[in-house]
Every structure is written in structure tokens, then in C-alpha cells.
Structure 1
Amino acid sequence: MKASRKSTRPLPRSFYRRDPLVLAPELLNKVLRCHDGRAGRIVEVEAYRGADDPAAHSYRGKTPRNAVMFGPAGHMYVYFTYGMHWCSNVVCGTEGEGDAVLIRALQPITGLDLMYAARPLAKNDRQLCNGPACLTQAMSITKLQDGVDLVAGETYALVDDGMPPPDRPVQTTRIGISKAAEYPWRWYVGDNAYISRK
């Protein structure tokens, strides 16, 4: 399916003010754009639902590490995991609830030369962004981007270029967690080569 219209305007704040279980599949096929020309289409996501979700960083309340999750919707929450990787999330829902959606994979669109420079071990386009740690490397997202306002769009933004979410996204359990691992809160674009794994 091809995009029907191009837009350079970031998605509005109202787009993010929804429950993560509603927002997550709606994020599929939106475009994450960096100010330097790098961009990728979101093809895989996972929802994390605050106090209702033992796997969410916000489950036990607000801390300096997860403070952005409790702020206004439409900001980027970035955290460090396994002592080596950054992961990027979209804060959503109602302020104070601690809801977010993890971006798990992107399909690279533009700026691939910059992505390869940031991920020199990638052997092909698929390996650039096929996982949460890979895509943050490819898009140069680190702790410095924690709290970035995606609606202002000065450095990073989410854009709708006219390609709608899939009518029937694949829905499965989440990956790489030990708590609430049975929750079916992961969605991805079926048959897309750029997801992290089937």
C-alpha cells in the first residue's frame, strides 16, 4: 500500500492523548523523522500501561528515571537497558498515568547513509532498524533525547505521510520481558521484512 499524501507537519498532541492499547496499533506506518533527514516507518510497537502493567517502568510510580512517562503525551521517553542499549518510547494517554508505547522497529525511508554511519555493523538495510536498540542507534537517539517533544518537532517528530495503519495488524505477546509477558500488547505490520522477529 502506497502513501496517498505527504505531510511534513508533526502529529498533534491530541493524537497521543489515548490509551496505549488504542494508540499502539495506530502508530504503525507513521514516520519517525529526524531533523537531519533520517526517517523510518514504524512497523512494530509494544504498549506499556502504567499502574495496570507490571512490565511498565511506571508500574511502581514516578522516579527520576521514568519521570517523562508521567508528563504530557507526545514526548519521547528514552531509557537504557541491559547496560548497553537505548530504547525509545512515545508517551501517551493522560498526564500522570505513566503510559507509553515502545517503538520496536522501523523500515528505513531516507537518510540511510547516516544510519549506516551510526550503525557500521549493519550488513543491509533490514539490519539498520529491526529492533529497539538498532533503531535508536540508527537514528542517534540517546539519553539526550529523553523528553524531546515530538509535537514541536524541532529535532524528532512523528509524521503521517498518508499511509494508514494496516487493517489487520498482527497482535502478539511482548518480547524480552519477564513480567506480564502473556499480555498481547505487541503489534506489527504483517509480512514486513523489517520487524525485529516473527
Structure 2
Amino acid sequence: MGAEDLAVEPLHAARRLLGGTLRCGPVAMRIVEVEAYGGDPAGPWPDPAAHSYRGRTPRNSVMFGPSGVLYVYFSYGMHTCVNVTTGPDGLASAVLIRAGEIIEGLDIARARRPAAKTDADLARGPGNVGSALAISLDDYGTRLFDPASAIRLELGPEIADSAAVSTGPRVGVSLAADRPWRLWLPDSPAVSAYRRSPRAPQLERPA
């Protein structure tokens, strides 16, 4: 299993990442929540919420490259968000790692996240994923399936049981907010809470 397993459409790739392991040095995390993002209008998965929607820039260029590459960016100037590029080379898409369970290096992750009240809180939420694994902007472009990389991704068995995966709208985006491209493992205590962006259109309530 490798990068070729992620060279597929965003939602399939997001599902494929669930249950996988992301390793950074001595700390390893089981991925329990993800969020898929597509690309620009010229591609097959136009997504106005994606960083790639307006085309290639120095910031998002890896989204247009091969799958299995680390896309890292700062959110609100303080949180490092960790993404994995997906889709065939040349077609932009990526999956945000929203939450995980620390399965190795617990003491190190606890030292990095002293505000976490429980172990389930250590990597709950995308900013906390970056903090617990100590991933920084310097890691942008890391090839996650390269054995020589300091950060590595190991895919688990594909989850065939649809009941084992929950889906819902993405968190905190104002555009395409109701696209059900957030996926999570419902039995995990590390899954983050859903928060709708106040800038997203309000849902219509039944009369």
C-alpha cells in the first residue's frame, strides 16, 4: 500500500486514510477524522472551499502534484494544519487530517500539549494534530511514503463496512459548507466536535 492508493477522487482517498497511521519521529497517531477537499473549476472536483480553487500558487502547489505528499499551512496564524495530497498528478485535491489517537510517544505528545485534559484531547482537532506530532511549515512537501522521510504515512486495511464510518458537513468553512466530505470513526473518543462557520449560509428549518 502506498501513494497510488490515494491517487483517486477526494472522498475515496479520505475514506482510505481513516485508520491509517501518521508517524513523525517517536510519535505515531492513528487517523480517526478527516476532511476531503477538491480543486479548481477546470478539474473534475471543483471545490470553492479548497485552497486550490483559484489555481496554483506557491502556497498550494503540492496540491496539484502527486498523491501522498504533505501539504502544511498556518490557520489563523497560529495552528499548523496537516494535509495529505490525493488524486492523480496534475489534478488538485487533498485531505485534511482533523483528529487522531496517539498510539506511540504518549509522554512526548503530552509534553507538547500540556493543555490537553485527556489523552483523547492530544490530537483532537487539526491544530492539535500538528502540535502533537510537531509538524511545522518546514515539513511542507514531505513524501509520506518515502522510507527515508522523517514523517511517514502507513495506510491500514480499507474499511469496507459503511456503518463503520460516519459522514457529515465540513467544519468551519463558509463555502460549500454542507458538502458531506468530513469522515470519522464514530467509536473514537478523539473525534472533534462539529462547528459550523458563522459565515456559512444558514440551514433552512422545516416549516
Residue 50 of structure 1 pairs with residue 39 of structure 2: yes
Preserved contact between residue 6 and residue 16 of structure 2 (Cα < 8 Å): no
- Match for residue 4 of structure 1? none
- Match for residue 140 of structure 2? 146
Residue by residue over 1:82-107, the C-alpha shift from the partner in whole angstroms, topping out at 9 and shown as x without a partner, is: 12111010001022221000000001
Task: Give the distance between the partners of 2:129 and 2:58, measured in 1 at CA.
Answer: 24
- Match for residue 189 of structure 1? 185
Identity %: 46
Unaligned runs of 5+ in 1: 1-10
- Match for residue 89 of structure 1? 83
Task: Give the distance between the partners of 2:55 and 2:9, measured in 1 at CA.
Answer: 18
Change beyond 3 A, Cα 1:182–1:161:
closer
Aligned counterparts, 1:5-44, within 5 A? 11-34=1-24, 36-44=25-33
SS at 2:85 equivalent: strand
Which residue of 57, 63, 66 maps to 1:69?
A: 63
Change beyond 3 A, Cα 1:12–1:189:
same
Task: Give the distance between the partners of 2:130 and 2:109, measured in 1 at CA.
Answer: 10
Preserved contact between residue 104 and residue 131 of structure 1 (Cα < 8 Å): yes
Once the 2 structures are TM-superposed, how far is the Cα of residue 190 of structure 1 from its aligned partner? 1.1
TM-score of the pair, normalised by structure 2: 0.86
Q: Which amino acid aligns with 1:129?
A: A
Runs of 4+ in structure 1 over 4 Å off = none
Preserved contact between residue 45 and residue 105 of structure 1 (Cα < 8 Å): yes
Residue by residue over 1:26-47, the C-alpha shift from the partner in whole angstroms, topping out at 9 and shown as x without a partner, is: 111011112x221111000010
Q: Which amino acid aligns with 2:13?
A: L
Choose 1 or 2 for highest CA Rg: 2
Change beyond 3 A, Cα 1:37–1:166:
farther
Task: Give the distance between the partners of 2:32 and 2:160, measured in 1 at CA.
Answer: 10
Which residue of 128, 132, 145 maps to 1:134?
A: 128
Task: Give the distance between the partners of 2:70 and 2:144, measured in 1 at CA.
Answer: 7
Structure number with greater CO (CA < 8 Å, separation at least 6) is: 1
Task: Give the distance between the partners of 2:96 and 2:156, measured in 1 at CA.
Answer: 21
Once the 2 structures are TM-superposed, how far is the Cα of residue 161 of structure 1 from its aligned partner? 5.2
SS at 1:152 equivalent: coil
Q: Which amino acid aligns with 1:57?
A: H
Which residue of 95, 102, 109 maps to 2:96?
A: 102
Task: Give the distance between the partners of 2:167 and 2:28, measured in 1 at CA.
Answer: 24
What CA RMSD, in Å, does the superposition of the two structures yield over aligned residues? Answer: 1.4
Say which is worse superposed, 100-109 or 111-120, in terms of deviation. Answer: 111-120
Residue by residue over 1:120-164, the C-alpha shift from the partner in whole angstroms, topping out at 9 and shown as x without a partner, is: 2112201100000001000001101110100104211111355x5
Unaligned runs of 5+ in 2: 41-45, 195-207
- Match for residue 176 of structure 1? 172
Change beyond 3 A, Cα 1:158–1:190:
same
Change beyond 3 A, Cα 1:160–1:13:
closer
Which residue of 145, 151, 155 maps to 1:156?
A: 151
Preserved contact between residue 91 and residue 99 of structure 1 (Cα < 8 Å): yes
